[in-house]
Amino acid sequence: MQQSVYYRQNLSGILGIEKEMSEKYKIDKENIPEHIAIIMDGNGRWAKKRTLNRIKGHRAGVKSIRETIEVCREIGVKYVTLYAFSVENWVRPKEEIKALMSLLKEFLKKEVKSLNKNGIRLSSIGKISEFPKDVQEELKRAKQKTKDNRGMTLFLALNYGGRDEIIEGVKKLYKKVLEKKIEIEEISTEIFSEFLYTKGVPDPDLLIRTSGELRVSNFLLWQISYSEFYFTKTLWPDFRREHLLEAVADFQKRKRRYGGIGENNVS
């Protein structure tokens, strides 16, 4: 019911973006990435270029988050994972961390209505238990309020680290082996994936990183084994719908062979 209401209310927007996809970006709507992961980089540099403090850059980046989520929902992406706060980010100045926590709480409070309107379910990955209690509670409320949405799932990677996730997965799997619930010979990539934060979620088809940096920064190390990478020099606060559509259009030009061979036996 909620999904049908969304389509009735947003029919003109959907028709508009379909025209934009087909005419301007030549996007095949039958080949949309199921899962897009994004490293949102460049908030600090964006602020510095404007002689603003870093917090202004983080706040400006929220608009990019909102627009990116909406466009992904409109074009049919099923999962979006945003790298919002890494385990390494705790080394930043205390005032910046405090401001980031406040901004996260503000985002969670304000965006629930929009998420529900667009049929988006909110979830998270990472060590949330290490966040301040008030932030944990706000995140819990937002998840609860959006849990029945089925249009798209938005994952916020919070206090997340790819290496930490793998180590935690190994510990959980080892415990099952000790309990004789899994035999060592049974362990496979599929079984190990069941012990990661992203259990049951398809791996990202497309990984986007903004700001011109060419690295993955400890993000979804297991899951991006066969993801297509798209790097742009655009700083995250400047990232808009056209940049997302350009990334999707570029993704559709790739030949994904997963270790096999392509046409004419080209590897």
Q: Which position among 89, 164, 218, 250 bears the catalytic label?
A: 89
Q: Of 10, 28, 41, 264, which residue is the catalytic one? A: 41
Q: Is 116 a catalytic residue?
A: no
**Length of the chain measured in residues:** 267
Tokens of residue 82, six digits: 């945003």
Spatial contact of 197 and 125, defined as CB atoms under 8 Å apart: yes
Task: Determine whether 148 is an active site residue.
Answer: no
Rounded-to-integer distance, Cα 225 and Cα 210, Å: 19
Q: Which amino acid is at 43?
A: N
Residue with tokens 């390494």: 88
Catalytic residues: 41, 89
